[in-house]
Amino acid sequence: MEKVFDWLAKGCAIVAGVVVVVITLLTTWSIVGRWLFSSPITGDTEVIEFAMAVVVAGCLPICQWRGDNIIVDFFTTRASARTRARLDRLGALLVAVMMGLIGWRTVVAIFDQKASGSVTMLLQWPEWIAYALMAPPLIVTAAMGLYTGLTGRNGAVAGDFGDDPVAALLRKETRA
């Protein structure tokens, strides 16, 4: 299961990275076109909005899987490693619940947007497509959060930024 999650996390991150490059090129092209030829790309902001939804959703799985989410440890700095590990597992379960709810509502939105025929203003693109591109990474993130919360394991490996004493303790507990 961990290899599948690792593959999915990397795949989503690669897609998100490619989309960021496309956004950059599109933005540059539109600005240069506006500046030199008084002809920006029509609907560039709509495309960028769609693309950013994909980027944000696409980066969530790798952050969750590698344990690279931002944490606020102000209240837990004096807690034992075991307590922090348990709180991390609880946090992963909460991520699973939230991403599950958001993923579920995103899937519902796909069908709602498709049924209503909602389209973007300038390009007339069906809005359900953006939701459809966001749903898989959200659901994958929920599954990863559930797995991490239940097993205490994630995809953090030695040398990753996500490798910290709490993650090491989690790996030690699960191997024993």
Residue 167's pLDDT band, with cuts at 50, 70 and 90, is low
**CA proximity to 127, closest of 145, 141, 115, 139:** 115
Chain Cα centroid distance, residue 79: 29
Structure tokens belonging to residue 121: 């203003």
| pLDDT at residue 74 in the model | 80
| pLDDT at residue 161 in the model | 42
Chain Cα centroid distance, residue 120: 24
| pLDDT at residue 1 in the model | 87
Rounded Cα distance, 89 and 83, in Å: 10
| pLDDT at residue 71 in the model | 77
Read off the pLDDT of residues 27-62 as tens digits, 9 standing for 90 and up. 999 999 999 999 989 999 999 999 999 999 999 999
Please give the average per-residue pLDDT across 53-79, as a whole number: 89
Rounded Cα distance, 39 and 66, in Å: 43
Rounded Cα distance, 94 and 88, in Å: 10
Rounded Cα distance, 111 and 157, in Å: 39
Rounded Cα distance, 91 and 152, in Å: 11
